[in-house]
Structure 1
Amino acid sequence: MNFSPRLVRIFQILLEQEEGGRISADDMAERIRISRRTLFRELESARRVLEPYGVQLKTRPGLALAGNRTALAAALMNQPVQVLNREERQDLLLYELLRAEEAQKLVVYAGRFQVSEATISHDLEDLRRRLEPLGLTITRNGVVQGSEEDWRKAMSGLVHEGVEYKTVDYLDPDTAMEQLFRGSAILSLLDQDILKRLLALLSAGRDCLGLRRFEQNSYIGLVIHLVIALERIRAGEPCRDAMHGLPEMEDSRQEARTLISLLEAEFALEFPDTEVDAVALHLRGSKLNSAGNHPDAHQEEILELARCFIEGFPGEQPALLGTDGQFIQGLVSHLEPTVIRLRNGLPIYNPLLKTLREQYPDLFERTRQAAGAMERRLGMRLSDEEIGFLTMHAGACFERAGQQHGRRVKAAVVCASGIGVSALLCARLEKTFGAQMDLEALSAPEAVSRQDVELFLTTFDVQGLPARTLKVSPLLPAADLRQIQTELAGLQAKPARGGVQAENLEDLLVQVEETARAVRMLQTGIVRIPTGTVYDPAVLIHEAACSLQGDTEILEQDLWRREQLGAVRAPEEGFALFHARTGGTARIQAAILLPAGGQYDNGLRGVLVTVLPADHTPPMQQLLAQVNRQMGQDAGFRQVLLSGPAQAAREATDRLLADFLRHGL
């Protein structure tokens, strides 16, 4: 029986729990990124699907599986792979070929990937060309041939391509499993039991193994290498080819033996000496977090390579790089393991390479030119992945000196009212691009007349804006971030637009008075409204409207109408937003809905409610936008409003109002 991809994910998570262990519905929904309601719709069919395997789904308290879990696990292993495109199918096929102990007929792979035998045949031709530079060949019957070292490089490179770079607490096993190793078709093929046990073992031994010195990227590489090695040793096919020309690395070998002794005890198997050398090279050749960890014997060579690299930059840049102590420390720390990797044929994988090439093409090319002297001295060429890491080191130095991004771009986020989605989007944008843009939230009518704005960002279609306009998702996925960075880079290379005309004294006085009036409207504070724990927008909006000043019926209608256009929720920050422009009040107002017990049944901790009068002044709109933005951006402000005492919430609001007033004046 074939399961839906979502059910497969649910069952996998449930099987990860210990026998008798349970996971809450909220945690499950969050892990597979669906709503609680959608989760229970999926679970309605789960009992029928599980019945043939002798497995029962338990839902109270929490979710769990009972019965023949082994039969279900075996069935999941035989599920057809869900392939999105040709590239991913070929990656998966290559992984299968590298793991295969004997030749398989094309029809086997065709059935597994749900394509024709002719398609698999074409894939094999593409893979032959792909493996040729690595010294590997694929025979007519689909067997990969080549040396053990070349096989290892191919496997490691293939798996690394599936790693998405995220800065997380990678030494925490649950965080590493969820944030780094899930969500990739390739990485899901790694033995999940080995991976889970390995992450727990490394986390427990982080101090005795010295793992805190690893950068995240190198730690991922070590984990992948060890999982693959454990799989192969368990299958009776360890690495048998000795590695020649190794550097003096007895310290690394000793560290490797310590690690391997823990692995042998945990997994009840024996590592051959050739595997010890491979692990030692990973430990020695990894990028370290702290500077100055290179061996003394290589220090002079490393410093000379650093000097060659710095002097390879044009103009005044060598002087800038050569006087930045942070840059020099980071560069020297990086270069020693770089040389080890190059001389031993070990690859390194830079998950940011594509982004660096796209967003900083000039800097990437300058870095490659500067690295030429190092390449000539070493007698070998640096890969694009190595150039990418050097680009990041140099770029960080230039950014500290104000040379990387240049001037700040005048940008605005546009929404219907200027206080809702745009304010939360501003908060997210400022976290990422705060050093590159001056950002404000505008309503669509206001944006049309703003000739000083160079870049408009909006979540809906809007016409007639006087500058470049990008439509983005409120969640700002990676594709949107890359698009925004590309636009910023282009605008920073151009002179700034002329500003708006200077205002006369009378206009300034009116603005000051309107700003003060807006502040006075919120001077009574943000109203705290206790509610039940059920997150039902219609009920909550009714409760909010009854607690606000004005026409309750109109307030409720306008808030509900806006909610139906699209809910505004920030699950990572733990709150939702109800907002509207309304004729039901003449003053700006803000309230916070607080559930009994501190949490709604969907996991949110509260709901911020803001209403803007239909006949409002610009400072009224700007102040409410600032409240919404502060809620999304300032964790301290958000924490006080959601769970702090009333006095602390009042003081935090007063500080926000004072800052807004000073800025307006």
Structure 2
Amino acid sequence: MSLKHKQKLIDLLVGTDDYLSATEISEHLGVSTRTIHSYLNSLAPIIKCTGLSLEKKTGLGIKLNGDTNKVSELLQTLEKQATLDLEPSDRQQIIFKRLLQGERVSYLDLADQYFVSRSTIVKDMKAIRETYSIGQSSFSFNNEGTKLEVTERMLQEMWGKYFYVSYSKLFGNPPYSLIHYSAFIKDELFLSNEAVNVLIQSVEELGTKYQLAEYYRIQLFENLSLLYYRVSQDYHFEGLSGYIFERVTELDTYYIAHDLASHIQESLDVVFSTQDILFLNQCLVANGLKQDLVLEGHSYFEYLADELIVKIGKIMNEDLSEDEQLKTGLLHHLVPMLFRLRNDITLTNPYIHEIKKQYSMMFHLTWYVVVDMENELGIRMPEDEIGFLMIHFQSALERKRDIKKVLIICQSGLLTTEILERRIKQFLPSVHVYEMISEEKVANVDLSKVDLIISTVDLTISGPPVIELSSIPTDRELSDVVQRMNDIFESNSHSVDRIYDQDEEHPLIHSLKNRLTIKRAHLHSESEALKYLTKPLVDAQLVNPDYLDSVFQREAMSSTAFETGVAIPHGNPSYVNQTHISILVNEKKITWGKEKVDVIILISVAKEDMEHISMIIGRIYDMMQSRSEVERIFINQSDQSIYRYLARHQ
């Protein structure tokens, strides 16, 4: 339980003579009623020690009794206890916020304040630099301590990262709701109710007028709040130069930024500089306000959208050229996306973790699709942007293939559920597992969004059809499911075809054994492993010497490691002369991004084979869905078994 929540809970109880229900308190704090009861139980001993008492009455709620003059003593006690009980990550968050607020901090003073050693503070500062990707040059040092010395743009970007980390840590997920996130930022920056209301109203009006998605509204509110907060403290953006300064006043959105700034100035008594308004305009474009202009003669963006559609269609063996919804969606996304990339503006994708886990194959295929666009425009696309694009492609594919959405309900633990999901995907490739949940959570799921329920427990519900299955089903059981699904979905054979059947005799797959290298070694780092796998390819002229750099660049943008202990690095197809797969089974796990891996599969695909890459990647993804499968195929079997598996000659 955070100190902030404890203080807010006490403030709520002190601020009224009436009883407050757990529901009322939970709405104020943004947590569940169960959490509120847990909070109250943890606070009870401290409240009692200060001479106050909690009174609970059934049907009425909770009330704080006693001398209210002792409240300040209670809050001081809470703060001291919180300081003693701080987790390292919490302490690092507090220190970083103090730095963001312009404070010069002394290691010795921090050690005294948080009751830890100076060496612990040194570790905290190192963790802060790593968490927020801050270089040593961003700090100034003197006898009085350490201080952040960065540009206004960099500082506001750091504030944004701080918000993201703090919110995710506090609530267990990234911000999904503008109202909820605005309350969080209000508390962090001590903004007035008036300021928050003006900023929310401004964002909602823009969002409605320009049909902005919720994640754009959340990001825009964050930008506006930080800009207002800093300007109100008399901090402004410095003169902008280069592309932004020369071209931003020509953008059609500049007048919107100017009007928005004028409205905030009049409402909240602040004054924006010209540079502040230029930055505000960048925020508007980066958060989607160009989309109403896209379809009015932007032939170059139409060309880019058409190219992407053709490429993903070839890779997935589907003609998506007639999907107007896909083209319109891409056009609406490409203009602000390219503006962001050209001007080093970051937009965090709040769903990136779920995207990489649930749609990992499509995520990596999307990267192959955008490689040529990256080369043509001279940009590098981060994983957040690839995730946004992937959503458009995945949605189009589901529309084209009429992919059925399945909800899995499992009584057993997560491991069993993951095994069940993997088995279903192997037999039913055109099924999209909407979610995997336990029986108790059925009431919280909108069943209208799924076409079928597969359950390992007895269910009595109204809604989509239910098929019962064992927790770890046999091939026979899954074959029965295929038949039942055919009956339910009117024999839609496309939805239940076994994967790869149509591609089994493709020359690329047939010759895979000659395009595959398997090595076993004892290496110590990601860099060493990539060089080890790439050198033989360069020596054999299968790839160009520049290929290794492109692999490193790809990893720098987004790690290709998975929690099952596998990494699937890949580089720019422009540097590949002949498609090849290089597999390294390492003796011990090595650090790869944020994961530990011992199986590395370097996928080197030539441009002429790009449209068939899904066949290769599909097989690889099959065997990396669980750690037990990885060990069965790679760790515990011979090289020949791996050859047979990939070439489907089992």
Residue 496 of structure 1 is aligned with which of 453, 471, 478? 478
Separation of aligned partners in 1, 2:268 and 2:78: 21
CA shift for structure 1 position 364: 0.6
Q: Greater Rg, structure 1 or structure 2?
A: 1
Residue 438 of structure 1 is aligned with which of 444, 449, 454? 454
- Show structure 1 runs of 5+ residues with no match: 171-175, 416-420, 444-451, 457-465, 469-490, 503-665
CA shift for structure 1 position 382: 0.8
Aligned residue number for residue 349 of structure 2: 350
Aligned residue number for residue 188 of structure 2: 190
CA shift for structure 1 position 181: 5.2
Residue 27 of structure 1 is aligned with which of 24, 34, 37? 24
Distance 1:67 1:413, change over 3 A: closer
The correspondence of residues 176-187 of structure 1 with structure 2, limited to 5 A, is 176=179, 179-180=180-181
What code does the residue aligned with 1:94 have?
F
Aligned residue number for residue 523 of structure 2: none
Aligned residue number for residue 138 of structure 2: 137
Residue 150 of structure 2 is aligned with which of 146, 149, 167? 146
Per-residue CA deviation, residues 270-293 of structure 1 (Å, 9 max, x unaligned), is 2222211111211122136x9644
Aligned residue number for residue 257 of structure 1: 258
Separation of aligned partners in 2, 1:152 and 1:413: 46
Distance 1:398 1:499, change over 3 A: closer
Matched, 1:242 2:240: yes
Separation of aligned partners in 2, 1:428 and 1:138: 47
What code does the residue aligned with 1:357 have?
K
CA shift for structure 1 position 58: 13
Aligned residue number for residue 487 of structure 1: none
What code does the residue aligned with 1:138 have?
F
Distance 1:318 1:13, change over 3 A: farther
The correspondence of residues 383-398 of structure 1 with structure 2, limited to 5 A, is 383-398=382-397
The answer (yes or no) to whether the contact 1:356–1:388 under 8 Å persists in 2 is yes
Aligned residue number for residue 223 of structure 2: 225
The answer (yes or no) to whether the contact 2:439–2:457 under 8 Å persists in 1 is yes
The correspondence of residues 212-361 of structure 1 with structure 2, limited to 5 A, is 213-246=211-244, 247-249=248-250, 251-287=252-288, 292-294=292-294, 296=296, 299-313=298-312, 315=314, 317=316, 319-361=318-360
Distance 1:67 1:387, change over 3 A: same
CA shift for structure 1 position 258: 3.0
Distance 1:47 1:437, change over 3 A: closer
CA shift for structure 1 position 362: 1.0
Aligned residue number for residue 362 of structure 2: 363
The answer (yes or no) to whether the contact 1:364–1:387 under 8 Å persists in 2 is yes
Per-residue CA deviation, residues 609-652 of structure 1 (Å, 9 max, x unaligned), is xxxxxxxxxxxxxxxxxxxxxxxxxxxxxxxxxxxxxxxxxxxx
Greater share of helix residues, 1 or 2?
Answer: 2
Separation of aligned partners in 1, 2:3 and 2:12: 14
Distance 1:333 1:429, change over 3 A: same
Separation of aligned partners in 2, 1:215 and 1:496: 39
The answer (yes or no) to whether the contact 1:412–1:455 under 8 Å persists in 2 is no
Separation of aligned partners in 2, 1:397 and 1:500: 24
The correspondence of residues 196-215 of structure 1 with structure 2, limited to 5 A, is 196-205=193-202, 209=206, 211=208, 213-215=211-213
Distance 1:64 1:56, change over 3 A: closer
Distance 1:404 1:495, change over 3 A: farther
What code does the residue aligned with 1:227 have?
S
Distance 1:311 1:295, change over 3 A: closer
Aligned-residue Cα RMSD (Å) equals: 4.8
The answer (yes or no) to whether the contact 2:291–2:335 under 8 Å persists in 1 is no
Per-residue CA deviation, residues 224-245 of structure 1 (Å, 9 max, x unaligned), is 2222223323333332343542
The answer (yes or no) to whether the contact 1:23–1:64 under 8 Å persists in 2 is no
Per-residue CA deviation, residues 59-117 of structure 1 (Å, 9 max, x unaligned), is 9998699978996999699665698755554444333323224x210133335555432
TM-score, length basis structure 2:
0.55
CA shift for structure 1 position 453: 5.2
The correspondence of residues 258-657 of structure 1 with structure 2, limited to 5 A, is 258-287=259-288, 292-294=292-294, 296=296, 299-313=298-312, 315=314, 317=316, 319-402=318-401, 413=411, 425-428=441-444, 431=447, 434-435=450-451, 437-439=453-455, 441-442=457-458, 454=469, 456=471, 467=473, 496-498=478-480
Give 3-state SS (helix, strand or coil) of 1:438's partner: strand
Separation of aligned partners in 2, 1:467 and 1:356: 26
Aligned residue number for residue 155 of structure 1: 159
Per-residue CA deviation, residues 144-183 of structure 1 (Å, 9 max, x unaligned), is 2333333333332332343534655x3xxxxx1xx3356x
Aligned residue number for residue 99 of structure 1: 101
CA shift for structure 1 position 48: 6.0
The answer (yes or no) to whether the contact 2:55–2:62 under 8 Å persists in 1 is no
Separation of aligned partners in 2, 1:82 and 1:293: 55
Separation of aligned partners in 2, 1:221 and 1:106: 34
Separation of aligned partners in 2, 1:39 and 1:87: 21
TM-score, length basis structure 1:
0.54
Separation of aligned partners in 2, 1:114 and 1:293: 57
Separation of aligned partners in 1, 2:73 and 2:325: 53
The answer (yes or no) to whether the contact 2:111–2:118 under 8 Å persists in 1 is yes
Separation of aligned partners in 2, 1:411 and 1:56: 41
Separation of aligned partners in 2, 1:148 and 1:275: 10
What code does the residue aligned with 1:202 have?
L
Aligned residue number for residue 117 of structure 2: 116
Distance 1:81 1:232, change over 3 A: farther
The answer (yes or no) to whether the contact 1:7–1:42 under 8 Å persists in 2 is no
What code does the residue aligned with 1:147 have?
T
CA shift for structure 1 position 8: 2.1
What code does the residue aligned with 2:349 have?
N
Separation of aligned partners in 2, 1:410 and 1:199: 41
Distance 1:321 1:33, change over 3 A: same
Separation of aligned partners in 1, 2:136 and 2:195: 31
The answer (yes or no) to whether the contact 1:165–1:180 under 8 Å persists in 2 is no
What code does the residue aligned with 1:26 have?
T
- Show structure 2 runs of 5+ residues with no match: 414-436, 460-466, 485-650
CA shift for structure 1 position 217: 1.4
Per-residue CA deviation, residues 101-137 of structure 1 (Å, 9 max, x unaligned), is 4x21013333555543212212323444566677952
Per-residue CA deviation, residues 422-468 of structure 1 (Å, 9 max, x unaligned), is 8654444674983464337429xxxxxxxx95553xxxxxxxxx549
Give 3-state SS (helix, strand or coil) of 1:351's partner: coil
Give 3-state SS (helix, strand or coil) of 2:271's partner: coil
Per-residue CA deviation, residues 191-224 of structure 1 (Å, 9 max, x unaligned), is 1434x44432234456754555322212222222
Distance 1:14 1:347, change over 3 A: farther
CA shift for structure 1 position 190: 1.9
Separation of aligned partners in 2, 1:500 and 1:305: 39
Separation of aligned partners in 2, 1:125 and 1:410: 43
Distance 1:90 1:303, change over 3 A: farther
